Structure 1
Amino acid sequence: MRSFRLFTALAATSLLVGCSSLDALNPFSTPAPKMAPLPEFKASATLSPVWSAKIGEADIYRFEPAVLDSDVIAAGAAGDVARFSGGQTRWRVRVDGGLTAGVGADADLAVVANGAGEVVALDASSGAERWRAKVNAEVLAAPGVAKDFVVVRSSDNRVFGLDRKDGAIKWTYRRTTPALTLRNPSGMLLENNVAVLGFPGGKLAALDLNNGGLIWELSVALPAGATELERIADVVGDPVLHRQTLCAAAFQGRVSCFDVTNGKTLWSRPVSARGGMSRDVRQVYVTEDTDAVVALDAFSGASMWRQDQLVRRVLTAPLATSAGVVVGDTEGYVHLLSLENGAFIGRTQADSSGVSVAPRAVGELVLVQTRAGGIHVFQPR
């Protein structure tokens, strides 16, 4: 059962073995089972379209749109970066070299990474290029933009601290990478002058942005199994901070929550997560590698509900909103689940190309970016 679940999950996730990627883990296997049909239900809520726009296709990458108040900055693989306001284009530029990651942004900077191993910072108001820095590494996750630094992590799990004024590399954090890891564009949590990042081996680390020094390290999950494949336990998605509680999830591992004041584990539950998590005041929401969405009590980790009728639809990480839990799938459907019991309460389709990155909140609205480059904003109610 463990092997079936693992191969099902990895069918939608590329792997790295040293510098080589595995495109087919088992060429002699039988065709994978079909995805679950869309469940029928009586809608009690809607996801009404508010506005939409178009940016370039994602190709093999996953681009996360950045939200600035009610504006959205998005990017595509061909190099287009644009800022949208209420569906209107404020600016659009083309970055040379093709893009592999983005967008990280604040009110001043919008930052992307290109295929030449460069980090490119644009003026968030005009799109004009401010600077570019050569990190000579593949960047798959959106850069983080902090007060004095731009933080970039490479696919080999190095972390670079760049001066946000000119892109000069101020420090580099390195750690040993296991032989086999997920090709997973995990991001980071920036809080005050600290970056919190998840790593292979189930580790969560906090870095001092002044010098890249390690402040602390916590274990979200411990690798287990007889083979390298079974021992993959990478932290996936972005860590989530709510007041003094920090939570993170690992593939083939656990969901764990910690007290950030002392590093004590508050609770830990066995869950194999695919792409991260979300939370509200009461509950933590996780998408499992089996495409089930689960809700756990935020204070104890107790199971609250489980929605498992979307098997093999390659769900995104969830987004908790006041109207419900939002997830996207590989056919571009956006599902709205009840906060109370996980039942389907609403559904719409962005486009048929699929949604592979977690939905984002734009105030009370919900934003999704599709693989074809569609930017879609919905009002859940």
Structure 2
Amino acid sequence: MTESRSMFRLLPVVAALALGACSSLNPFSDDGPKMAELRDIQSKVTVSPRWSASLGDAGIYRFNPAVVGNDVVAASAEGVVARFTEAGQERWRTRLEGGLTAGVGADEGLVVVANGKGEIIALDGANGQEKWRKPVNAEVLAEPAVAQDYVVVRTSDNRLFGLDRSTGETVWTYKRVTPPLTLRTQSGMLVDKNVAVTGFPGGKLAALNLNNGGLIWELTVAYPEGTTEIERLADVTGVPVLYRQNLCAATFQGRASCFDITNGKTIWSRPASTSVGIARDARQVYVSETAGAVAALDAFSGASMWRQGDLTNRQLSAPVLTGGGILVGDAEGYVHVLDRSTGAFIGRAQTDGSAIKAAPQPLGDSAVVQTQKGRLYVFDVR
């Protein structure tokens, strides 16, 4: 994100859209149509676990692992937070009482999680010792974002808190009125230096100044459409993706859109629906669709390149790009690898049989995967 840091300041401020108070809808319900049966595939890559470790059950929550340098930091609902080397050696492990609801936000010096009391807990990145804990008095579902001077926390009612990195004291809050019905899901943040970019219900993408919580600019990924509140759900999901000067994001039952951040103009926008998010490389944007397909869109025009539809209703995770292909997890703990050019299956592996709801994370040419039963894996895809 370094080369585009100054570009965030070039976008005009767009007026916020004021909408009514909200309740939430869970898009990850286990009830629904039957999942597609998996077909045998001809593997062209080897998908093998380099190492795995147990952290404890995720319960009803999702815990996205974090990659810090070549280390992996992860947490569970049981209160376990642990840091591992690239080779799987445990550097430290801490158990926090009361259980956790979100994590992990981390950099070299700080690891941050949230508990069921609405407290934000910061641990020393070197040894796991608690440094501070501060209440935000609200449920936290998304992992906190750790920036140079601040920890940014998003609550389930779509408030953002800027906490002093050293003390945890609240420096600013950002609040917006949200629609009557929203998804009960994580919407992560893209953070660099003094800017945070995140999506909101109603199809909005906003950039905030981390020094004071002020709105720098706002863009529209999708406009809510329909006559009922459910039809009008158009929440931005996952973490916005920045590639050079292009910023891309997608919504639930709305659109995927890419913007030029030097002027705020829409490069392209097309219908799409995802409850987990997208990924991007130099040529394509990859979408894990709500219905279970994985789609590739041309990064410069939004044109459809391919669509892999053999994972219908398998409740896919967000996609992650590895050196060997595109990796997604599913509700039965399978890891699928797709060819970037064609979308064809080129590899598959199984974890512990529980759902992979957390967003896999890249680790070099490998991927970090965490299951709902709390098993952490690093998969090499070659």
Q: Same fold judged by TM-score > 0.5?
A: yes
Q: Tell me the residue number matched to 2:44.
A: 44
Judge conservation of contact 2:24–2:183 (CA < 8 Å) in 1: no
Partner SS state of residue 104, structure 2: strand
1:67-104 CA distance string (max 9 Å, x none):
11221111000111111122222111111221000000
**In structure 2, C-alpha distance between the alignment counterparts of 1:93 and 1:215, rounded to whole Å:** 38
Query: 5 Å matches for 1:109-188?
Result: 109-188=110-189
The alignment status of 1:189 with 2:190, answered yes or no, reads yes
List, as ranges, runs of 4+ consecutive aligned residues in structure 1 with deviation greater than 3 Å: 17-26
Q: Tell me the residue number matched to 1:278.
A: 279
Judge conservation of contact 2:25–2:181 (CA < 8 Å) in 1: no
Q: Which runs of 5+ in 1 are unaligned?
A: 1-16
Q: Tell me the residue number matched to 2:74.
A: 74
Tell me the TM-score normalised to structure 1 length.
0.92
- CA gap of 1:378–1:25, structure 2 versus 1, over 3 A, is closer
1:317-374 CA distance string (max 9 Å, x none):
1112231110000000000000111000000001101211121111111110000000
**In structure 1, C-alpha distance between the alignment counterparts of 2:28 and 2:57, rounded to whole Å:** 26
Q: Which runs of 5+ in 2 are unaligned?
A: 1-19
**In structure 1, C-alpha distance between the alignment counterparts of 2:230 and 2:23, rounded to whole Å:** 15
Q: CA deviation at 1:22?
A: 5.9
**In structure 1, C-alpha distance between the alignment counterparts of 2:316 and 2:27, rounded to whole Å:** 21
Judge conservation of contact 2:181–2:233 (CA < 8 Å) in 1: yes
1:218-251 CA distance string (max 9 Å, x none):
0000000010010000000000000100000000
Partner SS state of residue 276, structure 2: strand
Structure 1 residues 215-224 or 44-53, which shifts more? Answer: 44-53
Partner SS state of residue 254, structure 1: strand
Q: Tell me the residue number matched to 2:62.
A: 62
Q: Tell me the residue number matched to 1:254.
A: 255
Judge conservation of contact 1:69–1:363 (CA < 8 Å) in 2: no
Judge conservation of contact 1:158–1:172 (CA < 8 Å) in 2: yes
Give the counterpart letter for 2:140 in structure 1.
V
Q: Tell me the residue number matched to 1:295.
A: 296
1:27-69 CA distance string (max 9 Å, x none):
xxxx843211112221111111201111011000000111112
Partner SS state of residue 274, structure 1: coil
**In structure 2, C-alpha distance between the alignment counterparts of 1:24 and 1:340, rounded to whole Å:** 29
- CA gap of 1:334–1:23, structure 2 versus 1, over 3 A, is closer
**In structure 2, C-alpha distance between the alignment counterparts of 1:24 and 1:221, rounded to whole Å:** 18
Structure 1 residues 278-287 or 351-360, which shifts more? Answer: 351-360
**In structure 1, C-alpha distance between the alignment counterparts of 2:253 and 2:147, rounded to whole Å:** 31
Partner SS state of residue 186, structure 1: coil
Q: CA deviation at 1:264?
A: 0.5
Q: Tell me the residue number matched to 1:33.
A: 33
- CA gap of 1:24–1:91, structure 2 versus 1, over 3 A, is closer
Query: 5 Å matches for 1:218-367?
Result: 218-367=219-368
**In structure 2, C-alpha distance between the alignment counterparts of 1:90 and 1:197, rounded to whole Å:** 32
- CA gap of 1:19–1:207, structure 2 versus 1, over 3 A, is closer
Q: CA deviation at 1:24?
A: 11
Give the counterpart letter for 1:78 in structure 2.
E
Q: Tell me the residue number matched to 2:370.
A: 369
**In structure 2, C-alpha distance between the alignment counterparts of 1:21 and 1:64, rounded to whole Å:** 21
Q: Tell me the residue number matched to 1:4.
A: none
Judge conservation of contact 1:218–1:263 (CA < 8 Å) in 2: yes
Give the counterpart letter for 2:57 in structure 1.
E
**In structure 1, C-alpha distance between the alignment counterparts of 2:28 and 2:186, rounded to whole Å:** 20
Structure 1 residues 95-104 or 329-338, which shifts more? Answer: 95-104
**In structure 2, C-alpha distance between the alignment counterparts of 1:24 and 1:162, rounded to whole Å:** 30
- CA gap of 1:24–1:327, structure 2 versus 1, over 3 A, is closer
Give the counterpart letter for 1:170 in structure 2.
V
**In structure 1, C-alpha distance between the alignment counterparts of 2:357 and 2:298, rounded to whole Å:** 26
Give the counterpart letter for 2:181 in structure 1.
L
Judge conservation of contact 1:313–1:330 (CA < 8 Å) in 2: yes
**In structure 1, C-alpha distance between the alignment counterparts of 2:240 and 2:26, rounded to whole Å:** 28
Q: Tell me the residue number matched to 1:11.
A: none
Give the counterpart letter for 1:53 in structure 2.
A
**In structure 2, C-alpha distance between the alignment counterparts of 1:187 and 1:328, rounded to whole Å:** 18
**In structure 2, C-alpha distance between the alignment counterparts of 1:379 and 1:22, rounded to whole Å:** 35
Q: CA deviation at 1:19?
A: 7.1
**In structure 1, C-alpha distance between the alignment counterparts of 2:25 and 2:308, rounded to whole Å:** 30
Give the counterpart letter for 1:142 in structure 2.
E
**In structure 2, C-alpha distance between the alignment counterparts of 1:25 and 1:336, rounded to whole Å:** 22
